[in-house]
Structure 1
Amino acid sequence: MKKLYISTVAATLLLAASCKTDFENSTEDVVVTSGEANFSKYIALGNSLTSGYRDGALYSSGQAESYPSMLAMQMKLAGGGEFTQPLMPNNVGGFIGIPGFGGKYNLALVDVKDYTGAVTGKTLSPVQANPAAQLDVIGGAGKYFGNMGVPGAKSFHLVTPGYGSAANLAIGAANPYFVRFATSATTTVLADAMAQNPTFFSLWIGANDVLSYSTSGGTNSTTIGGVTTYTTATDQTGNTNPATYKSNDISDPNVVAGSIKAVLDGLKSKGATKGVISNIPYVTSIPYFTRVPYNPIPLSAASASALNANFGQLNTALTSLGQAKRFVTLSSASSNPVLIIDKSLFDIAPYLPANLKMYGQARHATSEDLILLTASGVIGIDPTTGLPPAPTSQTIGGVTIPLADQLVLTKTEAAKVKTATDAYNTAISNLASQYGLALVDANAKMRELNSASGILWDGVKYTATFVTGGAFSLDGVHPTGRGYAIIANEFLKAINTKYKSNLPMISPNSYSGVTFP
């Protein structure tokens, strides 16, 4: 597979022109010491962010630039041992022939397609490749890996027996990535970590406990046998049994805290009392939720007038039913809001004629709503053809018909995500203090990346802007190699501060940026 690395020339020129680092610790003339830590056996636990997942897949060259592998490289300078990863068999990712998942699991490497839409203009739209190989089992009795990041894992999955059982795939109770490297069908991620008798660990888990809800637009889905059904997701407050969760539920904060504590207790029982743990960024500040604006619709004066007449009638109907108006007055401008479904609204469909029932819980989006990256391939498209609409078309995605519920995270749904994330992070901070661990504030670093100023390294600016910001890969969720290097430096800083070590920082500019298949 041929890949084109962008910004490499520009970064090289900037590096040559600048001798000043904008990070706190220089990588030059560092006397490397382990301080109070012992890095001889380092293991990393977590989810896709730990595994090196990016571009919508776990693939071998991406794994080579996982943040744990970067940490292990610096730890080796201070007495660290060998660090192994369950490398994928190819550079595409994904699996075919997986029972219970429509024959394949996880989408493979993301491409970015340009198309010219009659309404939205030229837009970047992610397109998935087909998985490249059958599931290959490389684990088994006595086979251990230092990087134990499992894409898709939620906090409680780390302590769930059978999560690595191939027999459980058909019922959705196992994860193919853990099936690949689990030591047995009955083990847990934690048990396999404990069996290695680590001297130092990193733990970054909990993002998927809100991410799956967020990336599905606040809908709940269950996929068994290749059939996906969606229902409205509900908060899990009071439900402390993960076995009853649907796949996209927000995990109860007590479950997340209890699962992380169980991991820490298990590691401590094997003498691993020193490590680093990270909190959870607000997932709603990553490109997947910020790339597509809420108001990307340009309209002519004639189109705006015609739409306003229709939406005005709907607003009149709403008023007669004692409901607030939901539709704005559109204008002949390039920044009109998209139509969305908001399941928190009173459903007026029973009071509407058949051709208008789609507007039962519809409204125009506001700046507080988040339009998902996947909507970029739908907005301004005729849903019956998948193409830009013909001049006479009356069906245009996000303009005359609402976007599907799973393409939008409404302000109400986004608030639920923030509330859960805050609860998770409070628990993680308390546990870091209770167990005497180094703490990474990934949430603060994500907010910094999402700011206009971004983060600088030797003159190269990194932001959370989709594609051009350099820190996030084509899936809009996971970092590039450079983004993972920024994360690795935050872990290194936290380790050095807590354990009086002096592990050198690494240069994000030395790693790969955005890649196109």
Structure 2
Amino acid sequence: MKNLKYIYISLGILAFTACNDPEDVDLEPEVMAEALVELNAGSADFSTYVSLGNSLTAGFTDNALFIAGQENSIPNLLSTKFALVGGGAFSQPLMSDNIGGLLAGGTQLEGFDPRLVFGGAGPVDLADVIGPVDPTTDIILNNPTGPFNNMGVPGAKSFHLLADGYGNAANLAAQRANPYYVRMTGTTPDAKVLELAMAQSPTFFSLWIGNNDVLGHALSGADGTNPMTDQPTFDFAINTLVTTLTSAGAKGVMANIPYVTTIPHFTTVPHDPIDPAENGFAAQVPTLNTVYGALNQVYTALGETNRIVVFSDSTNNAVVIKDEALIDISAQITGAFNANPGFPVFVTQLGLPEAAAPLVASLLGTAYGQSRAATENDLLVLPSSNVIGKVNEASFADFSAVNLPPAIAGQFSVEGVTLPLADKWVLTPEEQDEINAVTTQFNATIASAASAAGLAYVDANQLLQDLASGGVTDGDFTLTANLVTGGGFSLDGVHLTARGYALMANEFMKSIDATYETNFEASGSLFNIGNYPTNYSPALQ
């Protein structure tokens, strides 16, 4: 059991299709189709365009920010169209390379890693394909000089755009600053994002913010370490942003927040990824069912049959998870085992002395007090694919500390098999419902603010639901929400590909047409999304 390893999503999900080959990178300028009618700006003034938002505004893709991704960001794409009807120059805080990752005084910042690439079977670190990489973007040594028209800050929540010191490197240690925004503030490190945006006197703006107000909670499996923003704070932030941005007569466009349950970060890893034909798992099934058989008897006696776990040696197996919505019956499990005269015999079958029975009873109670088999209604976060079937070292150390032999300690520490997956790896149906309910409330705030200010409005939530429910066709291409093969989402399962960003930019222009009587669509000025890549080559540096 200790050597059990998880084979990365072997259900054909990551088989690569020809139209989305990893070398499918076309960075040549787009050739516009012949205009159907003359392009005009309608009632919009694009002379000074400023964009505010988070990673989706910055051009973040493949789990990193890098030059090519920034050049294909929604605001930068839009600026090229705005330039045709009076739009001015558009500046971005470009990274120093196409590697991604951030340094601070030459030291790699934890959690700010180089980009992902396609490794033949799924997303892998760039270094896994080309060898060691050295990011060159340093927030202390080589920040670019603003002002910047693209004020998208990866990781920003709604209220962060109003926060003093969010771009001050001195606040990094206290986690009150964002390294990406540190790169943008220059000689005014305490300036708010909104303040720097307004300093440019925008005549037109785009605002796509709020995703991280729910997404951070979801990415952590709703384990409480990154709570969702409360409604009053969110409402204040959105209304303040819109009121301020329109205070001098600027027009603009806003987009809402997608449901996290529609994006491949939460829909790619199946609930039953354990193939009995892999790594000798089938041979372990009898032992596993002996252990869980003892637990299942307790569950049945307590009327908790929904917690029963049975492994199969012929079909794929669901992972075992910890579900904090379940009543904790740890004490009942321990008590039932200690009261069962046959339990010491069971313990000897595990290769332990009878005297170890009370200890084993306590350990089993603690481990399985809130456990159950995952169902198709549970969503496993994408990084769970890297831990399922592997030995949890912390658990192994805990079991070893109470003198269990290494072999037994390892057997009881296999993630998702004998050790229930922790809350951070799974979104249960209850957690999904809570997140979607808050997203719906936040989207009502965004829609109301946009309507009250007469702004264009993009239903990004519906577009991404359409990607997940069958795909969206634009020209000769149909994008879906499938990881790698779908073409819409990048390798991190959260952010869009360049082609996905071009699709979204078209939605922005359609909304602007409807509100300000521009004619980007009627004039044939929308983007041909086929001119934009779905993946970047590992050779791109």
TM score, norm. by length of structure 2:
0.79
Query: C-alpha offsets along residues 167-190 of structure 1, whole Å, 9 cap, x if unaligned?
Result: 111100011111111251221000
Q: What is the match of residue 122 of structure 2? A: 124
Contact kept? 1:472, 1:483, Cα under 8 Å: yes
Match of residue 190, structure 1, among 165, 189, 194: 194
Letter in 2 for 1:175: N
Match of residue 174, structure 2, among 163, 171, 174: 171
Match of residue 262, structure 1, among 240, 244, 248: 240
Q: What is the match of residue 419 of structure 2? A: 401
Q: What is the match of residue 499 of structure 2? A: 482
Letter in 1 for 2:143: I
Q: What is the match of residue 155 of structure 1? A: 158
Question: 2:276 matched to 1:299?
Answer: yes
Letter in 2 for 1:406: K
Letter in 2 for 1:92: I
Distance 1:294 1:104 in 2: 30
Match of residue 275, structure 1, among 252, 256, 262: 252
Letter in 2 for 1:106: F
RMSD: 3.0
Contact kept? 1:315, 1:325, Cα under 8 Å: no
> Which residues of 2 match residues 88-107 of structure 1 at below 5 A?
88-97=95-104, 103-107=109-113
Q: What is the match of residue 430 of structure 1? A: 448
Distance 1:153 1:413 in 2: 22
Contact kept? 2:122, 2:484, Cα under 8 Å: no
Q: 1:402 Cα shift?
A: 1.6
Question: 2:490 matched to 1:473?
Answer: yes
Letter in 2 for 1:108: P
Distance 1:27 1:358 in 2: 66
Distance 1:294 1:489, change over 3 A: same
Q: What is the match of residue 312 of structure 1? A: 293
Q: What is the match of residue 472 of structure 2? A: 455
Q: What is the match of residue 377 of structure 2? A: 368
Match of residue 518, structure 2, among 501, 507, 510: 501
Distance 1:462 1:9, change over 3 A: closer
Contact kept? 1:57, 1:107, Cα under 8 Å: yes
Q: 1:511 Cα shift?
A: 0.9
Segment of structure 1 superposing worse, 38-47 or 340-349 = 340-349
> Which residues of 2 match residues 401-420 of structure 1 at below 5 A?
401-420=419-438
Q: What is the match of residue 40 of structure 1? A: 47
Q: What is the match of residue 237 of structure 1? A: none
Distance 1:298 1:11, change over 3 A: closer
Letter in 1 for 2:487: G
Letter in 1 for 2:528: S
Give 5+ residue unaligned stretches, structure 2: 1-15, 27-31, 128-132, 335-360, 395-406
Q: 1:302 Cα shift?
A: 5.8
Please identify which structure carries the higher strand content. Answer: 1
Contact kept? 1:203, 1:278, Cα under 8 Å: yes
Contact kept? 2:123, 2:491, Cα under 8 Å: no
Distance 1:12 1:31 in 2: 36
Distance 1:252 1:95, change over 3 A: same
Segment of structure 1 superposing worse, 200-209 or 375-384 = 375-384
Contact kept? 2:102, 2:108, Cα under 8 Å: no
Structure ranking higher on relative contact order (CA contacts 8 Å, 6+ apart): 2
Q: What is the match of residue 80 of structure 1? A: 87
Contact kept? 1:280, 1:443, Cα under 8 Å: yes
Q: Deviation above 6 Å: which 4+ runs of structure 1?
A: 9-13
Contact kept? 1:54, 1:480, Cα under 8 Å: yes
Helix, strand or coil for the counterpart of 1:269? coil
Q: What is the match of residue 200 of structure 1? A: 204
Contact kept? 2:380, 2:426, Cα under 8 Å: yes
Contact kept? 2:23, 2:535, Cα under 8 Å: no
Distance 1:88 1:341, change over 3 A: same
Contact kept? 1:98, 1:104, Cα under 8 Å: no
Distance 1:174 1:40, change over 3 A: same
The percentage of aligned residue pairs carrying the same residue is 43
Match of residue 421, structure 1, among 428, 436, 439: 439
Contact kept? 1:125, 1:377, Cα under 8 Å: no
Distance 1:345 1:149 in 2: 40
Helix, strand or coil for the counterpart of 1:77? helix
Distance 1:415 1:220 in 2: 15
Q: 1:499 Cα shift?
A: 0.5
Helix, strand or coil for the counterpart of 1:465? coil
Letter in 1 for 2:322: I
Contact kept? 2:51, 2:205, Cα under 8 Å: yes
Question: 2:319 matched to 1:338?
Answer: yes
Distance 1:322 1:450, change over 3 A: same
Aligned residues: 460
Q: 1:459 Cα shift?
A: 2.6
TM score, norm. by length of structure 1:
0.82
Distance 1:367 1:10, change over 3 A: closer
Segment of structure 1 superposing worse, 314-323 or 458-467 = 314-323
Contact kept? 1:165, 1:185, Cα under 8 Å: yes
Q: 1:194 Cα shift?
A: 0.7
Distance 1:126 1:137 in 2: 28
Distance 2:23 2:290 in 1: 55
Contact kept? 2:94, 2:144, Cα under 8 Å: no
Segment of structure 1 superposing worse, 40-49 or 350-359 = 350-359
Give 5+ residue unaligned stretches, structure 1: 16-24, 115-122, 222-247
Q: 1:430 Cα shift?
A: 0.9
Distance 1:87 1:219 in 2: 34
Letter in 1 for 2:46: F
Q: What is the match of residue 115 of structure 2? A: 109
Q: 1:26 Cα shift?
A: 7.8
Contact kept? 2:20, 2:534, Cα under 8 Å: no
Distance 1:164 1:97 in 2: 14
Q: What is the match of residue 143 of structure 2? A: 138
Query: C-alpha offsets along residues 431-457 of structure 1, whole Å, 9 cap, x if unaligned?
Result: 1111111110001100111123x1223
Query: C-alpha offsets along residues 221-263 of structure 1, whole Å, 9 cap, x if unaligned?
Result: 3xxxxxxxxxxxxxxxxxxxxxxxxxx1111122212101111
Match of residue 251, structure 1, among 229, 233, 240: 229
Segment of structure 1 superposing worse, 50-59 or 306-315 = 306-315
Helix, strand or coil for the counterpart of 2:52? strand
> Which residues of 2 match residues 25-36 of structure 1 at below 5 A?
28-36=35-43
Distance 2:81 2:324 in 1: 49
Helix, strand or coil for the counterpart of 1:312? helix
Q: What is the match of residue 460 of structure 2? A: 442
Contact kept? 1:485, 1:506, Cα under 8 Å: yes
Contact kept? 1:345, 1:361, Cα under 8 Å: yes
Contact kept? 1:65, 1:481, Cα under 8 Å: yes
Distance 1:348 1:424 in 2: 36
Q: What is the match of residue 532 of structure 2? A: 511
Distance 1:27 1:275, change over 3 A: farther
Query: C-alpha offsets along residues 308-364 of structure 1, whole Å, 9 cap, x if unaligned?
Result: 333232233234445453124433443321111112222233443244232222111
